Structure 1
């Protein structure tokens, strides 16, 4: 007895399921479902198990991508969007250790106290900050990308706000990865933050090491 040909939808489904792109994994689920319906309805082709495997792989890969995006938004994107203001708010609330954890560069506790005291005396209590919509794309090095997609670091411009609603321009260098001995170490921290102030003098934490 001649063997039935493979259902073309099942073949497409399994091919899509091995692609790491979420669009392909979603397509594998849809094509796999279409193959199962077609095979059961016509009984002229085979590949039912192949279609089920494609659907399972596609569902798994899609779930991994979805989980990765949720993790990225909660742990990386939120740090970038909220900027150093979150660290300053924690310090003003008495959590100096939490403030220091936002930065990759080590500094003394006295230096942190001096910076925070100056911020509080000049600008009062900080509430939040947002990315400056006028930030230039030149701030991001397009030649130094992780996996060819994500910048390893960027110098970002923010607008920081205090309790009176005053906006204070600040600049911060964000580091996603750090190159240590030829390997990429995940950081997700700020290297430094600077508050340009023509009246009282610029503030920077931590101070550059000479």
Structure 2
């Protein structure tokens, strides 16, 4: 499915994150989601558990494979990709009222900074084609999750680690984002062209 759908209002993005987080089972491993909206306001959700995908016949990152399959099979235009997973989080004082959460990618057990105090967590991350990132993090033993948003206007580059694959797939949904990919070609990471 070519093209992209308008990004829904914040309350719907929050509901999408809550859905992914509530449905996640850590034993399933990371689950990649596509999110879209049809012309009649129909919401489309599809999901692929990364660990259950068939073996690859080519050298491609599993997140790229999942987002490609989801986009090609989407019956309606998409506005973003998400993922639910279990991992680790550390809350770092920033000198403001809230602490910044440092989320460790799935599969990693140690952060780059060994002084960080890690907590096990369940999380849902949502990337939309505006390059905004929305995290919903629930540390182990906590009932209420913490929501964090990173605006694409403040940070034009993909996040470090494996999450970059989801950011690139989401941003590529909007063909007008071609300038972002030109910047990536100049030393800020690998690109993935929009799917035709």
What TM-score, normalized by structure 2, do the two folds share?
0.23
Higher strand share: 2
Higher helix share: 1
Q: Structure with the greater relative contact order (CA < 8 A, sep ≥ 6): 1 or 2? A: 2
What TM-score, normalized by structure 1, do the two folds share?
0.22
Structure with the greater alpha carbon radius of gyration: 1
